[in-house]
């Protein structure tokens, strides 16, 4: 089978799931990964035969894609904030909104009083990440603030294995803790608390695409109780007790519950801002102690 024949076969067998342009994009991703051919070479080498081993790899990929499995899970990796991260069925595939959260956090931390006060003496700000998943949030922050002491909590041991793999790959040090945050007592103060916790309500499950809820960990997507804001209530209490003076809070939130979520923090912090994402949805909360 030639590359062009394989490309046609790929699209024909996935037309019930993906548009033509989506199929072309995903095909190019796997061609680059398996055949080490970029999009320009793909056109130039369209008539080149591929060997049986690689053909079987593509057939297996097609069969997995037909189940609705996200292509990044099959690929096993993704790019996020300019860095490569390993992903699997135990972690959420990081979304663009979380890149926006990190962009906000990096900008605010750099100009924060606590960071500026510690910077001349090479002091370390202390950051708490709640619900680490694949580790994208703490590892991006560690890259930008290498002297920071970062603690990252997750309830899933398998997610932490993936996060630690990513930390090893990037040679970045983060203190990963396996714990149920909702029943975990903090015992130290932090300059920054950041989190993208499970924020989808149980009653919203029908609205979520099957490719998400059937293949990504539900514990990372959905609130564990009928109280959709349960994580934010605990974070608000912890921020009041364990966030240092002039400390910063960054949260990704459910777009349907922006004002309700922000209200949890108004009496706990000196300043609270509800911030929209690039799509115009209430998506982030920024807080200053």
Residue 214 above 90 pLDDT?
no
Read off the pLDDT of each residue in 123-129 and give the average, rounded to a whole number.
92
Give the other-Cβ count within 10 Å of 265's Cβ. Answer: 22
Q: Going edge to edge, which strands form the sheet with 271-276?
A: 175-178, 149-154, 126-130, 190-195, 243-252, 282-288, 271-276
The CA distance from 5 to 125, in Å, is: 55
Read off the pLDDT of each residue in 57-70 and give the average, rounded to a whole number.
94
Q: Give, for 282, the enclosing helix (H) or strand (E).
A: strand 282-288
pTM of the model: 0.91
Q: How many helices (H) and strands (E) does the chain have?
A: 13, 9
The mean pLDDT of the chain is: 92
The 10s digit of each residue's pLDDT in 147-180 is 999 999 999 999 999 999 999 999 999 999 999 9
The 10s digit of each residue's pLDDT in 260-280 is 999 999 999 999 999 999 999
The CA distance from 286 to 271, in Å, is: 8
The 10s digit of each residue's pLDDT in 72-115 is 999 999 999 999 999 999 999 999 999 999 999 999 999 998 88
Cβ-defined contacts of 59-62 (< 8 Å, 24+): 61/30, 62/9, 62/10, 62/13, 62/14
In which band, very low, low, confident or very high, does the pLDDT at 213 lie, cut at 50, 70 and 90?
low
> Cα-flanking dihedrals φ and ψ of residue 98, to 5°?
-70, -30
DSSP 8-state secondary structure symbol assigned to residue 47:
T
């Amino acid at each position: 089978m030639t590359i062009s024949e394989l490309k046609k076969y790929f699209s024909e067998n996935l037309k019930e799931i993906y548009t033509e342009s989506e199929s072309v994009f995903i095909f190019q991703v796997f061609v680059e990964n398996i055949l080490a051919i970029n999009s320009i070479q793909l056109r130039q080498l369209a008539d080149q035969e591929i060997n049986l081993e690689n053909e079987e790899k593509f057939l297996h990929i097609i069969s997995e894609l037909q189940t609705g499995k996200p292509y990044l899970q099959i690929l096993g990796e993704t790019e996020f904030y300019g860095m490569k991260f390993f992903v699997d069925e135990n972690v959420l595939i990081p979304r663009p909104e979380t890149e926006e959260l990190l962009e906000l956090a990096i900008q605010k931390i750099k100009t924060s009083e606590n960071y500026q006060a510690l910077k001349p003496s090479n002091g370390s700000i202390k950051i708490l990440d709640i619900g680490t998943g694949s580790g994208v949030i703490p590892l991006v922050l560690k890259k930008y603030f290498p002297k920071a002491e970062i603690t990252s909590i997750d309830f899933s041991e398998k997610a932490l294995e993936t996060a630690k793999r990513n930390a090893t790959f990037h040679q970045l040090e983060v203190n990963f803790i396996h714990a149920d945050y909702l029943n975990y007592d903090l015992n130290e103060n932090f300059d920054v608390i950041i989190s993208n916790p499970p924020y989808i309500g149980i009653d919203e499950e029908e609205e979520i695409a099957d490719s998400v809820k059937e293949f990504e960990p539900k514990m990372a997507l959905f609130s564990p109780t009928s109280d959709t804001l349960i994580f934010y209530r605990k974070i608000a209490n912890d921020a009041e007790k364990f966030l240092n003076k002039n400390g910063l809070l960054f949260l990704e939130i459910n777009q349907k519950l922006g004002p309700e979520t922000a209200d949890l923090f108004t009496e706990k912090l000196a300043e609270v801002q509800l911030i929209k994402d690039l799509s115009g949805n209430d998506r982030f909360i920024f807080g200053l102690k």
